[in-house]
């Protein structure tokens, strides 16, 4: 059985999840459900990034211990993903013992490989991004990524010999043209690596909220080095060999590409592992023309939107709004429009109409599969296997529109006998196939269609039109319109 391992970034616990975080986790969920639909042995991991200066400061502001703070907040994140119908197989927290053990072992392997040495770091640090920033990259004296104030550091540290991996990495990129996806994202990284790599400061003497560095307990391990190892620690490594490694696809936002396509593969090679097969770089949602931020007050809360619309509506919107890798706008108006036009009208009405008509029909539902060729299953599969969920939804929607048009054109309400049976046969088989195809995106709507048809959930191989040996019930609305 083919294996499939998909991961999301693990989220910082300085605030509640917003719509951008929901986007990362939904894309991973859709891919995991797609691979289960194909019958693959699938593992889907998400979790929370709980150490570091940022979390330490946030807890101090709240006047509680860092542990109390991360316990509270990680529970909120878990709950938010449950509401969004996220089907992760594990949820890793970096404050768990299993993780700490894996990080220490990983660092030991890097050390045994001669890749860790003592030195001094003098330069800039952005606490918000937990990133060291070379002077040349500052933007007007601020963090080039998030625009926030940076701090000058001068501290003893241990370095990871990242510079040693320049050639390995360039070779890996060459041998694996699908490593950085979408491909247009690769050139920038390759150019930067070509320009040369600086060693990475990988311990912090001034941060207490972290995993102790075993070769000098006055230091803790830099939060990014700690966090990246989560993808292995959740596999039960080092107690056992990781069953799902290398990962098939690691989903990351555009702001953390360097960590996942340069630092992480170099760490892996140093410790004797293969890099992941692909890193999928997703774009960002912006809101009211600006980056979402709590201080601007333009963050949308996924749980509130799920309560008002539905998990399926929000999931659909997130997957439908941004072409793979691009940035785009979030606004509730856009969400409501898609909910009303594409879900309640295109899809919901199709299912309701077909089942209402068929419930009045008393003969045998049989005919010739005329509508089947309107669904390009090959193109759908190709898009999904390229992780292009946006394109895949477009292909499904072409089929939904074709099914609606088929009904408008054949006018079953004017037909009788075998002609009516044929029109109904095609319409019902179309919605059965649609339920299978939308199931990674909108699992609740798919379940509801199957229930109305009186069948169990299908697999991808069931997408061929076949004989109707089930008895559909009367239709029920799938989505509600929201004004």
Q: Assess 124 for contact with ligand ME8 (CB under 6 A).
A: no
In DSSP notation, 416-428 reads -HHHHHHHHHHHH
Give the CB-nearest residue to ligand ME8. Answer: 253
Residue with Cβ nearer ligand ME8 (142 or 398): 142
Q: Assess 45 for contact with ligand ME8 (CB under 6 A).
A: no
Cβ(339)–Cβ(313) below 8 Å: yes
Q: How far is CA 176 from CA 173, 276, 318, in A?
A: 5, 10, 29
Stretch touching ligand ME8 by CB under 6 A, among 9-17, 55-63, 99-107, 465-473: 9-17
Between CA 61 and CA 255 the distance in angstroms is 26
Q: Assess 281 for contact with ligand ME8 (CB under 6 A).
A: no
Residue with Cβ nearer ligand ME8 (278 or 450): 278
Site string for ligand ME8, 133-172 (x = CB under 6 A): ----------------------------------------
Instruction: Supply the minimum distance, in Å, between the C-beta of residue 25 and ligand ME8.
Output: 9
Instruction: Supply the minimum distance, in Å, between the C-beta of residue 479 and ligand ME8.
Output: 25
3-state secondary structure at position 442: coil
Single out the residue of 6, 200, 292, 420 in contact with ligand ME8 (rule: CB under 6 A). Answer: 292
> Crossing angle for the helix pair 19-37 and 389-410, nearest 10 degrees?
70
Contacts of ligand ME8 in 255-274 (CB under 6 A): 255-256
Single out the residue of 213, 285, 317, 465 in contact with ligand ME8 (rule: CB under 6 A). Answer: 285
Q: Assess 22 for contact with ligand ME8 (CB under 6 A).
A: no
- The tokens of 321 are what? 């709004």
Residue with Cβ nearer ligand ME8 (21 or 219): 21
Angle at 398 between CA 394 and CA 400, to 5 degrees: 110
Instruction: Supply the minimum distance, in Å, between the C-beta of residue 253 and ligand ME8.
Output: 2
Instruction: Supply the minimum distance, in Å, between the C-beta of residue 468 and ligand ME8.
Output: 43
Between CA 481 and CA 59 the distance in angstroms is 41
Single out the residue of 4, 5, 23, 77 in contact with ligand ME8 (rule: CB under 6 A). Answer: 23
Stretch touching ligand ME8 by CB under 6 A, among 214-222, 284-292, 312-320, 454-462: 284-292
Residue with Cβ nearer ligand ME8 (271 or 292): 292
Between CA 179 and CA 183 the distance in angstroms is 8
Between CA 248 and CA 4 the distance in angstroms is 6
Helices (H) and strands (E) in the chain, counts: 18, 16
- Is the N-terminal amide bond of 246 cis, ω within 30° of 0? yes
Cβ(202)–Cβ(158) below 8 Å: yes
3-state secondary structure at position 15: coil
Strands 11-12, 180-181: pairing is unpaired
Tell me the number of residues near ligand ME8 by CB under 6 A. 19
Strands 116-126, 151-160: pairing is antiparallel
Single out the residue of 4, 5, 6, 20 in contact with ligand ME8 (rule: CB under 6 A). Answer: 20
Residue with Cβ nearer ligand ME8 (9 or 412): 9
Strands (E), 146-209: 151-160, 180-181, 200-201, 203-204
Q: Assess 305 for contact with ligand ME8 (CB under 6 A).
A: no
Q: How far is CA 446 from CA 117, 440, 441, in A?
A: 55, 9, 9
Residue 75: burial class (beta carbons within 10 Å; 0-12, 13-18, 19+)? exposed
- The tokens of 220 are what? 């803790």
Per-residue DSSP letter, 98? H
Instruction: Supply the minimum distance, in Å, between the C-beta of residue 319 and ligand ME8.
Output: 13
Nearest alpha-carbon partner for 279 in 183, 187, 179: 179
Instruction: Supply the minimum distance, in Å, between the C-beta of residue 299 and ligand ME8.
Output: 8
Contacts of ligand ME8 in 174-233 (CB under 6 A): 227-228, 230
| CA atoms 440, 445, 447, 453: torsion sign | negative
Single out the residue of 5, 6, 21, 169 in contact with ligand ME8 (rule: CB under 6 A). Answer: 21
Contacts of ligand ME8 in 46-65 (CB under 6 A): 49
Residue with Cβ nearer ligand ME8 (7 or 426): 7
Instruction: Supply the minimum distance, in Å, between the C-beta of residue 469 and ligand ME8.
Output: 45
Single out the residue of 5, 12, 158, 209 in contact with ligand ME8 (rule: CB under 6 A). Answer: 12
Q: Assess 10 for contact with ligand ME8 (CB under 6 A).
A: yes
Per-residue DSSP letter, 344? I
Residue with Cβ nearer ligand ME8 (10 or 351): 10
Q: Assess 11 for contact with ligand ME8 (CB under 6 A).
A: yes
Q: Assess 9 for contact with ligand ME8 (CB under 6 A).
A: yes
Instruction: Supply the minimum distance, in Å, between the C-beta of residue 18 and ligand ME8.
Output: 7
Residues near ligand ME8 (CB under 6 A):
9-12, 20-21, 23-24, 49, 227-228, 230, 252-253, 255-256, 284-285, 292
């Amino acid at each position: 059985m083919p294996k499939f391992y998909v991961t999301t970034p693990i989220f910082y616990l300085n605030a509640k999840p917003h719509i951008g975080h929901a986007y990362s986790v939904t894309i991973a969920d859709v891919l995991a459900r797609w691979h289960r639909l194909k019958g693959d042995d699938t593992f889907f991991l998400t979790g929370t990034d709980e150490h570091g200066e940022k979390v330490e400061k946030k807890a101090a502001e709240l006047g509680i211990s860092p542990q109390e703070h991360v316990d509270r907040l990680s529970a909120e994140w878990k709950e938010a993903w449950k509401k969004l119908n996220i089907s992760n197989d594990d949820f890793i927290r970096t404050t768990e013992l299993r993780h700490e053990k894996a990080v220490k072992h990983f660092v030991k392997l890097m050390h045994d490989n001669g890749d860790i040495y003592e030195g001094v770091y003098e330069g800039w640090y952005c606490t918000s991004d937990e990133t060291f920033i070379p002077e040349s990259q500052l933007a007007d004296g601020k963090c080039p990524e998030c625009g926030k104030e940076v701090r000058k550091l001068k501290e003893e540290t241990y370095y990871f010999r990242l510079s040693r991996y320049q050639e390995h990495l360039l070779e890996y990129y060459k041998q694996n043209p699908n490593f950085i996806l979408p491909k247009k994202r690769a050139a920038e990284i390759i150019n930067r690596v070509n320009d040369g790599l600086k060693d990475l400061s990988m311990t912090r003497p001034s941060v207490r909220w972290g995993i102790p560095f075993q070769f000098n307990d006055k230091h803790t391990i830099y939060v990014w080095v700690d966090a990246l190892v989560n993808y292995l620690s959740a596999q039960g490594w080092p107690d056992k060999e990781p069953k799902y490694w290398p990962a098939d696809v690691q989903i990351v936002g555009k702001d953390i590409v360097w960590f996942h396509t340069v630092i992480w593969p170099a760490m892996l090679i140093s410790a004797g592992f293969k890099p992941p097969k692909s890193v999928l770089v997703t774009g960002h949602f912006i809101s009211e023309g600006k980056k979402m931020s709590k201080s601007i007050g333009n963050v949308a809360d996924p749980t509130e939107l799920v309560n008002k619309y539905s998990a399926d509506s929000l999931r659909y919107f997130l997957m439908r709004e941004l072409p793979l890798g691009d940035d785009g706008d979030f606004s509730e108006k856009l969400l409501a429009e898609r909910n009303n036009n594409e879900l309640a009208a295109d899809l919901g009405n199709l299912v309701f109409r077909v089942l209402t008509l068929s419930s009045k029909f008393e003969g045998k539902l049989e005919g010739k599969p005329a509508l089947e060729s309107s669904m390009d299953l090959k193109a759908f599969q190709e898009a999904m296997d390229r992780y292009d969920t946006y394109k895949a939804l477009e292909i499904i929607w072409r089929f939904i529109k074709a099914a609606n048009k088929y009904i408008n054109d054949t006018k079953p309400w004017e037909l009788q006998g075998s002609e009516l049976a044929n029109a109904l046969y095609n319409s019902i088989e179309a919605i059965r196939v649609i339920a299978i195809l939308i199931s990674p995106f909108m699992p609740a709507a798919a379940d509801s269609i199957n229930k109305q048809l009186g069948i169990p959930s299908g697999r991808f191989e069931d997408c061929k039109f076949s004989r109707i040996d089930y008895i559909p019930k009367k239709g029920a609305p799938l989505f509600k319109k929201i004004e």
